[in-house]
Each structure stands twice: as C-alpha cells, then as structure tokens.
Chain A
Amino acid sequence: MFDLLTRMFSYPFLTRALIAGVLISLSAALLGVPLVLKRYAMIGDGLSHVGFGALAIAVAVNAAPLAVAIPIVIVAAFLLLRLTENSAVKGDSAIALISTGSLAIGVMVISASTGMNVDVNSYMFGSILAMSSSDLALSIILSAVVLTLFVIFYHRIFAITFDESFAAATGLHARFYTMLIALLTALTIVIGMRLMGALLISALVIFPPLTSMRVFKSFRSVVISSAILSVCCFTVGMMISYAYSTPTGASVVCVYIAVYLIFALIGAVKGRIK
C-alpha cells in the first residue's frame, strides 16, 4: 500500500489531485453535517448541476471556467436556499427543476460549441487530469477558510442546525450562518466538480454525515467522524482509481458506499446489543 502511494506521488498531477481532493472532500464533509441535518442536502446536488451548466457556457465562450462558474453557482445557492425555506414554492421540486434545467442547458451549449465528445464525459463524471496548480492553491485556501470558520462558529452552527427559532430568539442571525454555509458549499462544489464530476460531487457532502449518523450519537462525534471518513475514503478511492484505472469520482463514491454499509451494520448490531 505504501508502495502504491509512493508511486502515485511520483506523478505531480496525481499528487496535486490527491491533495486538492482530500481538502475538498474534508470541506464538503464538514459543511455536509449541517446541510444534511437541516434537510438541505438536495442543495448540494442542485448546485453541482448548475455548476455543470456554468462550466459548459464558460468553455463555449472561451472564458476561464471558475471565473464564470463561481458567481453563477453562488447566485444559485442563494436562490435554492430561498426556495427551500419558502414552503409555498415546494422546495424539492423547485430544486429538481433548476438542476435538470441547468444540466440540459449545459449539454445543449456543449453540443452546439464543441460537439458531444469526451469533454462532456469528464464534466459529468470527473477527470483526474483536471486539477491545475491554481486549482490546488484554491482548494488549500478554501479548506483553510472552511476549517477556520467551522471551528470559530462551531457552537453557533450547532445551535442553528438543531433549532433555528431558538437560536434566533437568543439573538443569533440564523439566516446569516445558513447563507455562509450555502456560500462555502457552492465554492466547494465548483472547485471539486471537475475532479469528482458534476453528477458525483454531492456524494462528498451527503455520504460522510449520513454514514457517521448510523453509529455516532452526538453532534461532535458526527462532525469528527465525518472529517476522518472524508479524508480516508477519498485517499482509498484515489488509490483504487490509480491501481485499477477506474474513474476517480466513481471510485471514491464506491468506497463511501462500502463504508456506509459497514457503518449501518455496526449501528444495527449496536442497537441490538442495547
């Protein structure tokens, strides 16, 4: 296993992808805990589809991909959050509307500009070659920001996730923190989606908290477990991807599925013993 890792690190592009991927995965897992618990997990999925559309447009007009995608996805994040909060509009169907809509627009733009080719495939399912050194720098900055904010606001994030009306009554600006989480999720998804793929990136947000919740019963243990899982699963997924030449995104998600099943089993056994 060590041998495998050493061989992987001898390729600069693999080293970049691994470091950036682990950091993105960690950020996504931390943000995923409040998102999943507040029933906002679908937002991650919606944002990745919007990101796909935005990247396609960026390529078509020959602009820098992130310069186009980041503002579009951030706007979409605020929009989706409003839709989810406003029960009159039926949040989940609105999210499905936006995500399939952007996916269709993206495919149309790509087929009109370059023709349906390998590009689409790598957008949808990710490519290990996608991480440039500027992407690596971005993911380091992003994960530093996410980690710092998460530590500083940890108790507030807990209070708002558990009970928004109580938190607001004690004077916390619940909306501000929810917006902050949505904003950081948008950034994480845009930066990570070319590595993981538009269709798979939201797994990084959803799997770690859901898996951890099968076994752990306090907020703190769920957060810590999610962080550890995100780092381990991504690394193992990349190693499998390298050893068997499988796509990175799908490999990582398959590792998550396996770990989820193991955790579900442990949870069931623990429940039985009690």
Chain B
Amino acid sequence: MPQIECRNLSLAYENHIVVSDLNFDVNAGEYICIVGENGSGKSTLVRALLGLKSPSSGSIRFGDGLSQNTIGYLPQQSSIQRDFPASVREIVLSGCRSSGFSPIYSKRDHSIANENLERLGISDLAGHCYRELSGGQQQRVLLARCLCAARNLILLDEPTAGLDPTVTAEFYHLIAAINRDGMTVIMVSHDIPASLHYASHILHIARHPLFFGVTADYVKSEIGSHFIEHFHGGDVSV
C-alpha cells in the first residue's frame, strides 16, 4: 500500500467545493510538488492531509508505516513568529513528541533534536534567539523541527516564500538531500522551474485535478506546457 492514498477526494472551504475528484497516491521516497494558481485549493488539501480538515467526500488513507500524526509539517511562517522570544533549541525540541504525556523532554528527544540540528548545519545556532536569525536560518530551524516530528514523510507549504535566490537554491539542495536519504517529500510550490527540476511527480490542481503523474510527462502534457509557458515563457530546463 502507498503511504498516502487519496480516492475521489472532495474538499470544501466555507461550504464551497474547492477541489473535487482528486485521486493520487504517494509512495515511499517520492518527491511530489503540488502546483496550481492561488485559490486552487492547495492549502485546503494540505490541511486535509494533516487531518485539520475533514473531506466533504472521498477518503485519505495512510499506510506503509505512515500515520497522520507522524507527517512532518513545515507551515508558512506566521506574523506571530517574527518577534517571538524563543531559542532555536526550544523550537526544534517542540517537534519531538516521543515522550507522550510527560512534561519533560526525554534523552531520546534531545538526541533527535541534536541530530537534526547537525543535519541542517545549525548546531552552532542552538542557543540563539529565533527572531534574530536571517530568513534562511529561520527556515532551517523550522525544517529541523519538522524533521523531528516526521517518521518518513515531510509536507512543506511554500517553504521558499520570501527567501532570496541564493538561500532558496541552498534550501532546495537540502530538501533534495533529505529526499535521497529516503524521506518522502510533498511540497506546495509556486516555483515552477524548481518543481520541475527536483520533483519526481507533479500534482496540478484547479478545482479539478488537472494532472497527476511523473514530472517528465507533466512537461509534455497540454496543461503542463501551457502552465509553464504562461508563467515562465517556456524557459525551463528539466
């Protein structure tokens, strides 16, 4: 069974159906980009995958060692976080939930947090204040927290929004490396060239699912080529 199996999924936002008849599978190790225009239901789909919203019809099933609560989630940054007094370690640890109901983080939680700080190259920032970091560093901190919470799949919601091109490129490299290590990646993205470059599969939605399949087929498809041309003048290398 795939890690996530969506069948005939319909999602509503404030009683309006935003996406219907959605069918797709996510298998271990894949890198899926969800693309589509603003208001096409991408965020609603993310909330449904996380269990924060129930589908109006159809089903989302989890398998292959994945359960809904072990999806690592990287949300878009909120305005609250910008001046929040918190150390990097406090934030990364908040992704660790292996201790269940205990009010104290276990040794295991601390070692998971340290491992992920190390993995993203931000160990030296552990004692720093989150609000004093650069945008790219903040995003790495949130990614480390996301990895602490993830068993085998991470879900990223426009992770490079607001980052400069160099930092964005570094961030994509990081995600690609994490994906090569066996982590399934689902990313909502506006960045079409990067999606085509890195993703193994593309899900294009706009009320109805317009395309789901491997990236190479997407580029050749009518909707794919049209979308790429429309947004980027066709100047895309895969």
Contact = CB atoms under 8 A, between A and B. Distances in A.
Contacts of B80: 37-39, 161-163
Given A151-B103, A152-B103, A168-B52, A158 B73 contact: no
Interface string B33-61: 00000000000000000111000000000
A260 to B, nearest CB: 15
Given A168-B50, A170-B95, A170-B149, A217 B73 contact: no
B95 A154 contact: no
Contacts of A169: 50-52, 69, 71, 73, 75, 149
A147 interface: no
Contacts of B145: 166
Given A152-B103, A165-B75, A168-B52, A158 B97 contact: no
Question: Which of B71, B84, B145, B149 counts the most chain A CB atoms within 10 A?
Answer: B84
A218 interface: yes
B5 interface: no
A9 interface: no
B36 to A, nearest CB: 20
Interface in A26-67: 37-39
Q: What is the size category of the interface that chain A forms with chain B?
A: 20 to 34
* Chain B contact residues, majority secondary structure: mixed
A220 B127 CA distance: 12
Interface residues of B, number: 29
B170 interface: no
Given A151-B103, A166-B75, A159 B94 contact: yes
A219 B71 contact: no
A7 interface: no
B4 to A, nearest CB: 14
Contact of B87 (A159, A213, A217): A217
Contact of A163 (B50, B51, B68, B81): B81
Nearest to A88: B14
Contacts of A90: none
Interface in B128-159: 129, 131-132, 145-146, 149
Contact of A219 (B90, B95, B105, B132): B90
B96 to A, nearest CB: 9
A219 B73 contact: no
Contacts of A165: 52, 73, 75, 78
Contacts of A168: 50, 52
A222 interface: yes
Given A154-B103, A169-B75, 5 more contacts: A155-B93, A169-B52, A170-B69, A219-B87, A221-B85
Interface of A: 37-39, 151-155, 158-159, 161-163, 165-171, 212-213, 216-222
Interface of B: 50-52, 68-69, 71, 73, 75, 78, 80-81, 84-87, 90-91, 93-95, 97, 103, 105, 129, 131-132, 145-146, 149
10 contacts: A37-B85, A155-B93, A158-B86, A163-B80, A163-B81, A163-B94, A167-B94, A169-B75, A170-B73, A218-B86
